[in-house]
Structure 1
Amino acid sequence: MYENSSPRPGLTLATVAVVQFLVSLDLSVVNVGLPQMAAGLGFSALGVTWVIHAYALTFGGLLLLGGKAADRYGRRRLLLLGLALFGVASLLGGFAQSPGHLVAARAAQGVGAAMLAPAALALLTSTFPAGPARVRAFGVWAAMNAAGGALGVLAGGLLTEYASWRWVMFANVPMAAAALAMAYYGIAELPVIRSGRPDVLGALLATAGMTTLVFGIVRTDRHPWTSAATLTTLVIALILLAAFVVVERTTRREPLLRLGLLTNRAVAGANIFNLLVGAAMASAFYFASLYLQRVLGTGPALTGVQFLPFALGVIVGAVLAIRLGYRFPPRTLLILGGLVTAAGFAWFGRISAGGSFTTDILGPSIVASVGFGLCLGPVVSIATHGVAAHETGTASGLLNSSRQIGASLGLAALGTAAGHRTGTATTTAAVNDGYALGLTLGAALLLTAVLVATLILRRTAATAATAATPEPAAVTS
């Protein structure tokens, strides 16, 4: 088997960028095509939501395990395995002939993504440990991360309207193949440190607990938060996660998640910030897409096109974060980016039933997206700074988990609030009021994230800044 032992930072960054774009794209690309998938394969109205839920369950539930596996068995090895699985699952999903086949393919995609995301981020962290190169690397990662999510809506709309919903799945295959070739020939495998036998029981409890938690959250579209089904599921999830904590504290094996990692203020604060921002952003995509289609009557392809300003704004914000990252610590950029994004969401909350794309979507999209782009790279830099080399995969998996759990929680909670505001009314004005409330609550979540960055990260700012500040020229020989 070919092994590349010479680090190639440029190719590593390019590979990680493609991988992150692929993972982010698949989180949103199917949304616009759900009605056509339902009609083509015979899904019920509620059953088609499992095209999204199956991916969210496996992706969110296995991220911690994927991060630990990357640390223990090698980031490059797990990246290759994840890309192969993701590509094959996408191909099979495109050929699906029944609802069960498509849902199974989406679940397999989620498993592959749970391997890819933490392994790719850990590779980036270990390849660019400090200095201006690290700032640039995380800026590129941030741009591709958000661009994939925003462009997924565009790609989904265009493919669904002008080709077929099957191409929403097929489009992943060439990207996965290209990334696989880039990773195989261009990424060096770093030495793997194994300190003991793997904690199998902890892995099972964490995976079961995370999966059950996501399952309970995503089913709130059918079972209210106060229903016996939801409460029972969430209680089971909490019991499993509590058992996981007990096992991690007492095991003599190599723990899945060293609990001391969570006492690191930078790691804890960055993950809380990430969870809140993930909750707000997932709901924003959801409400804005529904507003365009159900209130303004926009078709799926044009809806996708109208998300382009958001994608471009994120890229602008990420580039701006690179430039500002040479002068300001990541904590400062988190606060600034969170405030700007919150302002955009507050503007979003003023949507009206008689509005238009130009007056109600375009302006707030630009403001919110630039702020979001400012946050992405710095939050990763903080969450992984000071973490031991053999735990970067675990820290990366934890950060991805907080984002995924936040997205599921935010979409469920804010969707419920919007539904309560709308009630049984079916008028355009009533539906609009529900969406406006959801977007306004998203602004509140972002302000809470800013408060977290201000209070929890205050003692780590100087340390984190060191990772984001170029070395003085005088020390270069």
Structure 2
Amino acid sequence: MSSLAQPFSAAAGAAAYRWWALIALALAQFLVVLDASIVNIALPSLGQELRLDTNTLSWVITAYVLPFGGLLLLGGRLADRYGHRRLFAAGVAGFVAASAAAGLASSGTWLLAARAVQGASAALLAPAALALLTRLFPEPRDRAKALGIWGAVAGIGSAAGVLLGGVLTSAFGWPSVFYVNVPVGLLVLAVIPFLVPRDRPGRRESLDMTGAALVTAGIVALVAGLSEAERAGWTSPWTLTLAGASLALLAAFIRIERRTANPLMPLSVFRIKSVTGGNLAMFLIGGATTGLFFALSVFMQQVLHYDAMKAGLTQLPLAGALVAIAGAVPAIVKRFGTRRTLAGSLLLFAAGLAWLSMAQSDASFAADLLGPSLAIGIGLGGAFVAGTELAVSGVSDGEAGLASGLVNTSQQIGGAIGLAALATISSSRTNALSGMGVGESQALTGGFAWAFLGAAVFAVLGAVIVLTIKSRNKEGGGGHD
């Protein structure tokens, strides 16, 4: 038994408190996912007060998910080296401090810097939290239940962010969407020492800082290139330069990972087909989800002229459907298998997005938005739970931390790239329609329709990949098939 596992098996009270520990860990994960979406409803009022244009507003989201996704693998390695509970606590503390700083922001630069620190802190706590979960629940049946709850929390956080963002912005102003993290984070910091035993640091292996720098720089260059394409066009010299730099940096990262003794991301893990399929699916889910909530929030406020409160409350059916289905997913997986459940959920998610793309500038909620919202919520809830389970299945205990970091990395990097791509597609379509003499409201509607359809394409691709890449094993529950 590894030294990391010994404290958990030796602590007599760990089993009695592990479900409470799961609540605390999941609560921290909820904040991490929530912060990628809760800001969406607050963007118009935030942009007006801080004088930020639409392109800069998208970076309020991107400044968070980029360092989050880019540093997750490094965060997982640091947790393995210095102790999962210690890094989890450090990540929560940094997240709380950065959230308070974001709420106090008086300029766009200040806000974006605080959001970047939030993302970096999330990259410390998220993989440590999921690794702690796998240690606390070594039995396959209990671990499946715990992972089901974990995946549901991720989906609920994305959906609830828009709802809470609307309520908080309307009642207390945009800084409240950041301040809400402070008391919750402090509560988690207070209870976690009593619920999770201290784990021993791992071996002091050298850290792959070169790999971390290359992958983070490559992702930043890719997202910046997509954002530049929105402003200057796909063939502009700066867009092409950033795209080329991204490809070169990511290729160098792969070359380094193949040669270094202690790689940040051992490429051998992708020989496990469930890990490969699950992470590709979570990458596309992240892209579709982040783009969806950004576009839907702006569509409701700029085109349908909903205020922040109404825009948030109209997300309640989506969030409710997601919560309802999340609890049923483990039973569905047991009957049909993880892979089929995930593919079916993604196709339903895509159908809801395609339905939403038909909404016009005079759409009513009951007739045009309620149905798509329910389909999206059900599909997204199933996809988050099944996707998380697939991505961490089939790995050894020694690879649990790596798998945990990978699934979070895939989702967050997918979110950053998906948002940049869908925002660029939407803006290009809107500008094209405006150039044809179409009115502003109709042009915006046409642009958002393309964003929703683009997100649907992401979901369909995810379903195709999951059905194409079969697992090499049949472990757990109803098996992956």
Q: Normalising by structure 2, report the TM-score.
A: 0.90
Residues 222-245 of structure 1, C-alpha deviation per residue, up to 9 Å, x if partnerless? Answer: 343332222212222222222122
Corresponding position of 2:3: none
Question: Residues 217 and 191 of structure 1: is their aligned pair in 2 closer, same or farther, counting only changes over 3 Å?
Answer: farther
2: CA distance, partners of 1:419 / 1:49: 12
Question: Residues 334 and 373 of structure 1: is their aligned pair in 2 closer, same or farther, counting only changes over 3 Å?
Answer: same
1: CA distance, partners of 2:174 / 2:344: 39
- Structure 1 contact 79–183 (Cα < 8 Å) conserved: no
Question: Residues 186 and 318 of structure 1: is their aligned pair in 2 closer, same or farther, counting only changes over 3 Å?
Answer: same
| Match among 345, 352, 367 for residue 344 of structure 1 | 352
Kindly indicate whether residue 329 of structure 2 is the aligned counterpart of residue 316 of structure 1.
no
Partner-residue secondary structure (3-state), 2:40:
coil
Structure 2 letter corresponding to 1:463: E
Question: Residues 287 and 166 of structure 1: is their aligned pair in 2 closer, same or farther, counting only changes over 3 Å?
Answer: closer
- Structure 1 contact 19–179 (Cα < 8 Å) conserved: yes
Corresponding position of 1:180: 189
Measure how far apart 1:301 and its partner are.
1.1
Structure 1 letter corresponding to 2:206: R
Alignment of 1:267-286 (within 5 A): 267-286=275-294
1: CA distance, partners of 2:217 / 2:264: 13
Q: % of aligned pairs identical?
A: 38
Structure 1 letter corresponding to 2:448: Y
Question: Residues 207 and 173 of structure 1: is their aligned pair in 2 closer, same or farther, counting only changes over 3 Å?
Answer: same
Question: Residues 209 and 444 of structure 1: is their aligned pair in 2 closer, same or farther, counting only changes over 3 Å?
Answer: closer
Question: Residues 280 and 100 of structure 1: is their aligned pair in 2 closer, same or farther, counting only changes over 3 Å?
Answer: closer
Corresponding position of 2:460: 447
Measure how far apart 1:12 and its partner are.
2.4
Kindly indicate whether residue 450 of structure 2 is the aligned counterpart of residue 437 of structure 1.
yes
Measure how far apart 1:57 and its partner are.
2.4
- Structure 2 contact 140–476 (Cα < 8 Å) conserved: no
2: CA distance, partners of 1:176 / 1:32: 22
| Match among 74, 82, 88 for residue 73 of structure 1 | 82
Corresponding position of 2:305: 297
Structure 2 letter corresponding to 1:462: K
1: CA distance, partners of 2:228 / 2:401: 30
Count of aligned pairs between the two proteins: 465
- Structure 2 contact 99–179 (Cα < 8 Å) conserved: yes
Partner-residue secondary structure (3-state), 1:34:
helix
| Match among 55, 58, 64 for residue 64 of structure 2 | 55
2: CA distance, partners of 1:74 / 1:390: 14
2: CA distance, partners of 1:85 / 1:76: 14
1: CA distance, partners of 2:351 / 2:223: 29
Corresponding position of 1:459: 471
2: CA distance, partners of 1:128 / 1:321: 19
Structure 2 letter corresponding to 1:364: P
2: CA distance, partners of 1:418 / 1:42: 22
1: CA distance, partners of 2:233 / 2:478: 46
2: CA distance, partners of 1:303 / 1:86: 27
Residues 156-178 of structure 1, C-alpha deviation per residue, up to 9 Å, x if partnerless? Answer: 22222221222122111001111
| Match among 31, 36, 43 for residue 34 of structure 1 | 43
CA RMSD of aligned residues (A): 2.3
Alignment of 1:199-218 (within 5 A): 199-218=208-227
Corresponding position of 2:441: 428
Measure how far apart 1:466 and its partner are.
6.0
2: CA distance, partners of 1:396 / 1:301: 35
- Structure 1 contact 134–467 (Cα < 8 Å) conserved: no
Corresponding position of 1:126: 135
Corresponding position of 1:398: 406
- Structure 1 contact 138–377 (Cα < 8 Å) conserved: yes
| Match among 209, 217, 238 for residue 229 of structure 1 | 238
Question: Residues 166 and 399 of structure 1: is their aligned pair in 2 closer, same or farther, counting only changes over 3 Å?
Answer: same
Corresponding position of 1:194: 203
Measure how far apart 1:70 and its partner are.
2.0
Partner-residue secondary structure (3-state), 1:462:
coil
Question: Residues 468 and 335 of structure 1: is their aligned pair in 2 closer, same or farther, counting only changes over 3 Å?
Answer: closer
Structure 1 letter corresponding to 2:312: G
Kindly indicate whether residue 123 of structure 2 is the aligned counterpart of residue 111 of structure 1.
no
Structure 1 letter corresponding to 2:301: Q
Partner-residue secondary structure (3-state), 2:323:
helix
Measure how far apart 1:191 and its partner are.
4.3
Structure 2 letter corresponding to 1:312: G
Corresponding position of 2:97: 88
Q: Which of 421-430 and 289-298 deviates more? A: 421-430
